[in-house]
Structure 1
Amino acid sequence: MSWFEEGIHPEIRQSLRRDQVLFEGKTDFQHVEIFANDLLGRVLVLDDAVQITEHDEEIYSESIAHVPLLSHPNPKSVLIIGAGDGTVLREVLKHRSVQEVTMVELDGALVRVCREHLSTLLDGAYDDPRLNLVIGDGAEYLVSGKKFYDTIIIDSTDPDDNSTSLFTDNFYKSCKARLAEGGLMVAQAGCPSYQPSILTHMRSRMLSLFGFSGFYHAAIPTYVGGLHAFAWASDQIDLAQLAEQADPGFRGAEFSTRYYSARNHKAAFFLEPASE
């Protein structure tokens, strides 16, 4: 037994007990660790930052997938950038309307490790015939690609050497250019309390490009700071207005979920960060 200490914020430390180390190694892009904790189940750590735990990963994966997909009237084509652990892909594939999912992940080794050590979480997502898995840079893929997508989901790590290209003006413009008519995009936006600079960045760059935009939130216990933000944007669909209607303006889920519900969908939009 040993302890993992997460220090993504220099002023704060969070410790998780390693009851069993399942994998530890370095890929071409990052340090990867998967360990088991008696309370949290399997824990995925990238470069000393907790990404998912078996205990509450569904809060993140269901929030970033189902809020946008159920706000779109008929999403058929979805692009996921990042999300190499596969849990977001699992949730996207629950939507029967989705005919094709293109997933672009920079780190192919991470995908292989997660398929081996987190397979019980994935429900065979990587074997679904609707998946087109691309190992490569998401920003470059958007520039070189010619397809259009009903929904684009950006599940990147926080800004670092490997993900800087996913936080630029050109990247957000490329996402907008690849959206089909009536399309929308969503991106993880960090912890509002401890990472306000990410929200400020997205408000001034990503959200300013679209006619409708904003943030929604979910409380994720094992993320430092608890509350996590997601940025959303579209030229045709106002996700916040749909969520605020007395009769939900979004479609109901026709599949089972562990966290997501119509009530949680509406509640996610109640807390709006203060204007800069």
Structure 2
Amino acid sequence: MSWFVEGIHPEIRQSIRRDQVLFEGKTDFQQVEIFANDLLGRVLVLDDAVQITEHDEEIYSESITHVPLLSHPDPKSVLIIGAGDGTVLREVLKHKTVQQVTMVELDGVLVQVCRDHLATLLDGAYDDPRLNFIIGDGAEYLSSSQNQYDIIIIDSTDPDDNSTSLFTDNFYQSCKGRLAEGGVMVAQAGCPSYQPSILKHMHERMLSLFGFGGFYHAAIPTYVGGLHAFAWASDRSDLSKLAEQDDPGFRKAEFPTRYYSDRMHKASFYLEPAKA
């Protein structure tokens, strides 16, 4: 038994007990660790930063997925960039309207490690015939592709050496160019309390390109700091207005969820981030 320590902020750290180490190794891109904790279940760590735990991964995966997809009247094509653990893919595939999912993940070794050690979370997602899985750089794929998508989900790590290209003006312009008419883009935007610079960056660089845009939030215990933010943008749909309507302007989920609900969808737009 040992303790994993994550430096969330220069002045803040969290510790999680390693009850059993299941995998530890380095890929071409990052250090990967999966360990078990009696309370949190299996924990995925990339470059000393916790990504998901079995205990609450559904809060993140269902929030980043179902809010945009159910805000679209008929999403058929979805692009996921990142999300190598497979939980976001699992949630996207629950939507019967979706005919094809293209997923671009830089680290193919990470995907295999997650398939080996987090299989109980994935529900066979990587074997779904609707999936077009590409190992490569998401920014390069977008700049070279001519495909159009109803939904684009950016599930990147926080800005680092491997994800810098996903936080540039060119990348956001490419996303805008690849969205079909009425399409919606969503990206994880960090913790408003401890990472306000990420929200500021996305507000100035990503949201400014679209007719509508903003943030919605979820409280995820694994991510210390309170709320976690998701940035959304669209040239046609105002997701926040759809959520405000008494008769919801978004579709109802026709599949089981553990966290997502109509009430949660509405509430996620009402939660205000901490002031920078």
TM bucket normalised to smaller: over 0.9
Give runs of aligned pairs for residues 100-111 of structure 1, distance below 5 A: 100-111=100-111
Partner of 1:183: 183
Question: Matches of 2:7 and 2:154 in 1, distance apart?
Answer: 24
Give runs of aligned pairs for residues 74-93 of structure 1, distance below 5 A: 74-93=74-93
Question: Matches of 2:225 and 2:275 in 1, distance apart?
Answer: 20
Question: Matches of 1:106 and 1:222 in 2, distance apart?
Answer: 24
Question: Matches of 1:272 and 1:236 in 2, distance apart?
Answer: 23
How far does the alpha carbon of each residue in 1:48-99 deviate from its partner, in whole angstroms, 9 at most, with x for none? 0000000000000000000000000000000000000000000000000000
Do the aligned partners of 1:189 and 1:198 also contact (CA within 8 Å) in 2? yes
Do the aligned partners of 1:104 and 1:134 also contact (CA within 8 Å) in 2? yes
Do the aligned partners of 1:184 and 1:232 also contact (CA within 8 Å) in 2? yes
Partner of 1:28: 28
Report whether the alignment pairs 1:218 with 2:222: no
Partner of 2:159: 159
Give runs of aligned pairs for residues 162-241 of structure 1, distance below 5 A: 162-241=162-241
Amino acid in the other structure paired with 2:208: S
Query: Which blocks of at least 5 consecutive residues in structure 2 are unaligned?
Result: none
Partner of 2:62: 62
Question: Matches of 2:124 and 2:9 in 1, distance apart?
Answer: 35
Partner of 1:147: 147
Question: Matches of 1:110 and 1:201 in 2, distance apart?
Answer: 28
Give SS of 2:110's match: helix
Q: Percent identity?
A: 86
Question: Matches of 1:55 and 1:222 in 2, distance apart?
Answer: 8
Report whether the alignment pairs 1:250 with 2:250: yes
Do the aligned partners of 2:103 and 2:132 also contact (CA within 8 Å) in 1? yes
Question: Matches of 1:58 and 1:225 in 2, distance apart?
Answer: 18
Partner of 1:130: 130
Give SS of 2:152's match: strand
Do the aligned partners of 1:8 and 1:48 also contact (CA within 8 Å) in 2? no
Amino acid in the other structure paired with 2:271: L
How far does the alpha carbon of each residue in 1:147-176 deviate from its partner, in whole angstroms, 9 at most, with x for none? 000000000000000000000000000000
Q: CA deviation at 1:10?
A: 1.4
Do the aligned partners of 2:218 and 2:268 also contact (CA within 8 Å) in 1? yes
